[in-house]
Each structure stands twice: as C-alpha cells, then as structure tokens.
Amino acid sequence: MNFGFKQRLSTATAAVALSALVGSCGESPAGPTAEEAGKFVAQAEQENQTIGEEASRTNWAYETNITFDTEWLVAKVNERWTRTAVDHAVAAKRFDQAEVDPVVRRKLEMLKQAITLPAPSAAMAELAAVTTRLSSAYSTGKIEFEGRTVPQHETEVLMETLRDPAKLSEVWTKWHAAAKPMKADYARMAEIGNAGAKELGFADVGALWRSGYDMPPDAFAAEVDRIWAQVKPLYDQLHCHVRAKLNEEYGAAIVPLDQPIRADLLGNMWAQQWTEVFDLVAPSGADPGIDLTKILKAKSYTPEKIIRTGEGFFTSLGFAPLPATFWERSLIAKPADREVVCHASAWNLDDREDVRVKMCTEISATDFQTAHHELGHNFYQRAYRDQPQIFRNGANDGFHEAIGDMISLSITPTYLKQLALIDAEPDSSKDLGLLMQRALEGVAFLPFGLLVDKWRWQVFSGQLTPATYNDGWWKLRTEYQGIRPPVARTADDFDPGAKYHIPGGTPYMRYFLARILQFQFYKAACDSIGWKGPLHRCSFYGEKQVGEKFNAMLAMGASKPWPDALEAFTGTRQMDGSAIVAYFEPLMVWMRDQNKARSCGW
C-alpha cells in the first residue's frame, strides 16, 4: 500500500538547479570532500523535509477529492518533486569517490535510489502528466453491469460475491477492457523512466528498483528466486487442491484438470487471493465456523470502529495511541459526494505526527484485516520519527508491508474472543479450516507478489515491448500462478493495467517480501513469549514484551542495512521461507494426502 512519500519517491517538490545545489556545497578544485558531502546531505534532508510535506498534502488533497483542479495541482507538485529528487540523486553521485563517514555514505546511496521513476529534466513535466493520467484513469474507471454503472472498487466486490461463471467473466473482461487505453501512456512512462535511470548510472528502472536492498541488483533477483523455490511446493499443493474442488463445483468444461485455473473463478479480480472460495475448497468438517463479516455487521461495527480496533492491537503491545489529528483528518469511509482513490493507504504527511489512513472501509473481514495492516505503516512511521530524515523509512520496503501483515496473523479465534466478537474458540479439529483460510490469502498471493515486478523488470529491460506486453504478462501468470484468462486476449489488450500498482507506478516486490517477513516476524514474536503449541494458534495480543522488542526494530528505520534490523528482532540475517512452511505444515500434510490421486501441475 502506498503511504505517502517515504518509500521510493515517484514524485517530488520545489525544484533546485543542480549547479546551484552542488555549488552551494563549495566543492573544492581537488574534488568533493567529506565535509562537502556532509553539507550536501544536510541540505538535501532539509529540502526533502519541506518539499515532502508540500507534496504529501497536495497528493492527499487529490486522492481524497479527484477534480480537474486537484489533478492539475498534483501534476505540478509531482513534477517539482521529481525534479528535486533527481537533482539530489545526480548530485549524490558526484560523491561516489569521496571518502566519507559510513552514515553519510548510506545517506548518499539512499538519495540515489530514492526515486521510483526518474526523468531527464526535459521530460519531467511530461512524466508528471502521464503518471497523473494513469492514476486517474484507474481510480475513476467504471463498467456497465446489469443495467447500472459500477465504479472500480465495486467491481472487486462483484468478483468476491458472484458465482455464476458467465457473470464473473463479464465483470472481469469489462474491467480489463477499461485498462486497455492506458497502454500508450504506460509505454511512455517506462521510456521516460528508463532515460532518467540511465542518467543516474543504472541500466534501467528495474535495476534501479533492485538496487534498494543492500545488495547488487542481480544478487537481489537471485535472492527472490531462492525464496520462491522454498515456498513453491506449498503453493503447488494448494493450487492442485483448489483446482480439483473448483472442478467439482463448475465441471470440466469450466475447470479442466489439466489446465491453469480460470482467473475469474477465485473470488478476486487478479486471482491474487482466494479467500472468497473458502466454502468451495475447505476441508470437510473443518469450517472454523467464523463468518467475521457477518459478526462485524451484527455487532454494529462501523468503519471507525474497525480502525479503532486495529489501533487497540498496537496499544495492547505498549505503543502510544494515535494522535487526535489521526481521527480528525483520516478518510475512513468513501464519501458520497466526490471521487476519491479508494485503494487503501497509510500516510505521514509531516514526517512526524500527522499520520492518517485513507480507506473506503467496508464492514467486512477483508477490511478488518486491511485496517490492521495499514495501521502497521502508521505505527512504523511513528517509531522511526526521530531518525534523520533520510532514514525515516522501513529497513527495506518489504519491512513496511510486513508489519501490519504480521499483526494480521495474530487475528486468531483467541483474539476475536478477546474482542468479544465470538463467545468461544473453535476446538483443534477446526484448525485445518483456519489454515486453509490463511493459505488462500497468504500462500495464494506469493507468485502474484513475485511476478508483477518480474513483468516490469522485463518491460524496463526491453525484453518486452508494447507489442508483447500482454503476452509477457500471461506467460508469467501461467508460469508462476497456474492461471489463465477467462476469454481470449490479444496483443492490443493491456491486462497489467487492470492492477492498481501498474498504472500507479508502485513497486510490488515489497508485497512478496512482506509475506515472507510477516511469518518470520510472527514466529519470532511467538518464540519470544515462549509459545510451545502449533505456530498457527499463537496470538501475542497484549504481550508488551513483544511490543518492546518490536519497537526497537521499528525505531531503527532505514538507518542500518535491513539484515541488521531483521537480526534485531528475529535473530537471523536472511529472509527465509521456512517460517511460512512451518506455519502451514499441518495443512501441507493434509493437502498432500488429498492430492495423492490427483494430477497436479499445469
């Protein structure tokens, strides 16, 4: 989820001429010195602080009220923000050979890597306009279905609730058709971004993105492949079981047992999470019996109460409550009188205390979990607020996403009972159902989380061209997810644009890493309280010793390489899939038994 301007900066503010910027540092004739580097970094941090707040507030105004004027304003501020970020990145490169303090060196490297889509000076205005058009096209997209106009966020609800294959195919096809006009703008965005990345010394935008993980870009690509290999057997078993159960529901004409699964049948527009088909694939007699959406509605939960419940989890760990301004300024429910960007996000608008969420919150189990996730960003932002400006960020972008995801694993029946949402916990005979629910959300997501950026790496490297964008997209979706489109696709289609993060220019690998890290964090939290039972039954709600150790890691921000932060909480320096495998071990054993007589793979 986007959370303002503290992850890689796709947009920036108040332009500073490069010559003036470097000249103000008083560079010596012999070349840049350590003192000059320190002065430059201090100046850049001050400018980022001032500029970032202006950009954040302008973007907030736009995303919570999409009009011609706010779109114009955000395009202008994004152009200026991009120019400043590029100026800082290019200026930082001048100090590559200077002998500087390790802290200054880390800040210089982060300035070079800070921008998601850099642009040459002459193309900055065009890039800002293109990215704004793409964001607006997605957020204001609509389809016609059964005699009414359906906005983007409601198309997702239809995919979750419909079961008629013909209607699912219709909604899926119409929404993906709405993305088709984005293709030309997207190709131009990639072209401009690549030109900007080359000016910064990177091969392309994909190499720039991969450089932000305290290791060489190629080493990072190999690292995510290593992690995927650890968890792929778990996904393969889940895919095999789910396909077999969907075959029983829809028949071989709709779900052949020797082909990838149709993308529209899994309860999600992008087949990235399969929780909505739980009732079709659940182990017999293992339904945990908790319809959280129904319970929340029966208990008269409101959007605000869902957010306050999420806050309560963090305060139970010892974190300070959110400031009053959070409740005064957040957008918690979709307004009826204006267009907004409904995609959930968390923001820190002044880099200190003005934290907010933006959610078109529905009374549902999904948004109950999303609220905990988004607040994880906010509490992380508050934890590192005393770091130097450049270090006010996650240890890597996967960390930021993993914090709330880790909390969501503790939304167990025990937790729901503590909240008085249920009267009694299901007995252990229901555990397979709980694990299946979790797998349909977390395990099902893993290949999608990986392939979105793999597709973009291929686009940025030139391996894919506009003529092959769509073919390349479906090749990866088939290879990694075992998914196929419900209707024939052509080279003219632009199906990647139907996913928010593609037109939004938001890197996606963070979500794959977050799924891995959340289980590492969760297991570390459970180990720290001496949990001895099955890992999936652990809840650390109210465990302040977990909160104390957790906050120590969060407070580091990006001041140290991410292995240092990981080690501080988990005791290991390597991202690793073993925790997620351990969590789902009982389900894995069961699925292997179920799949013995089935033909798996695609």
Active-site positions? 343-344, 373-374, 377, 401, 501, 511
d(CA 361, CA 486): 29
528 neighbors 544 (Cβ within 8 angstroms)? no
Assign 258 to helix, strand or coil.
coil
Which segments within 237-316 are labelled E, that is strand? 261-262
Query: How many beta carbons lie within 10 A of that of residue 389, not counting itself?
Result: 18
473 neighbors 455 (Cβ within 8 angstroms)? yes
Using DSSP bridges, classify how beta strands 148-151 and 142-145 pair: parallel, antiparallel or unpaired.
antiparallel
Tell me the DSSP string of 331-365. Answer: B-S--SSS----S-EEEESSSSS-EEEE----SSH
d(CA 416, CA 523): 20
Tell me the DSSP string of 55-73. Answer: HHHHHHHHHTS--HHHHHH
d(CA 123, CA 362): 40
d(CA 481, CA 477): 5
Burial class for 584, CB neighbours closer than 10 Å (0-12, 13-18, 19+) = buried
561 neighbors 214 (Cβ within 8 angstroms)? yes
d(CA 86, CA 120): 8
Q: What is the 3-state secondary structure (H, E, C) of 360-427?
A: CCCCCHHHHHHHHHHHHHHHHHHHCCCCCHHHCCCCCHHHHHHHHHHHHHCCCHHHHHHCCCCCCCCC
277 neighbors 243 (Cβ within 8 angstroms)? no
Q: Which residues contact 111 (CB under 8 A, 6 or more apart)?
A: 41, 44, 88, 89, 91, 92, 390
d(CA 73, CA 84): 17
457 neighbors 206 (Cβ within 8 angstroms)? yes
d(CA 407, CA 521): 9
Q: Which of 597, 523, 541 is closest to 310 using CA atoms?
A: 541
Q: Two tokens at 339?
A: 């267009």
307 neighbors 357 (Cβ within 8 angstroms)? yes
Q: Two tokens at 540?
A: 């650390």
